[in-house]
Amino acid sequence: MDIKTVNLQEKFATFTDQWHPRIIGELNGQHVKIAKVQGEFIMHQHEHADELFFVVEGKLFIRLEDQTLEINQGEMVVIPKGTNHQPYAPEEVKLLMFEPESTVNTGNQEGERTVRDLEKI
């Protein structure tokens, strides 16, 4: 078995595009993903999966139906399954996410930002 540490900054340095998650680890049927985001994503939900967002760098906002969350660097939030949410970031944010392997980034919304075949880096 080849067990290695993962340096997040080195992984983030391998890409520049936004809203396109990459897999950096797997555990217990979950993917550990990273992404760079800026601007607005679409309002969506994941019917069968909770979603964890950890802000590595920057400030992420997530619109919910009745409030807007502000997640600062070093903070995280879990969005429960079935919750409509819309992430957005005025400035670039580096995110770490935990999601079940079957989770599609746009949830119940199919569109130009949907990414089905995630790259492992």
The three-state secondary structure class of 60 is strand
Count Cβ atoms below 10 Å from residue 28 Cβ, excluding itself: 6
pLDDT tens column, 55-86: 999 999 999 999 999 999 999 999 999 999 99
Average confidence (pLDDT) over 100-121: 70
pTM (predicted TM-score): 0.88
CA angle 77, 81, 87 (to 5 degrees): 50
Tell me if 86 sits within 8 A of 44, measured CB to CB.
yes
**8-100: CATH number:** 2.60.120.10
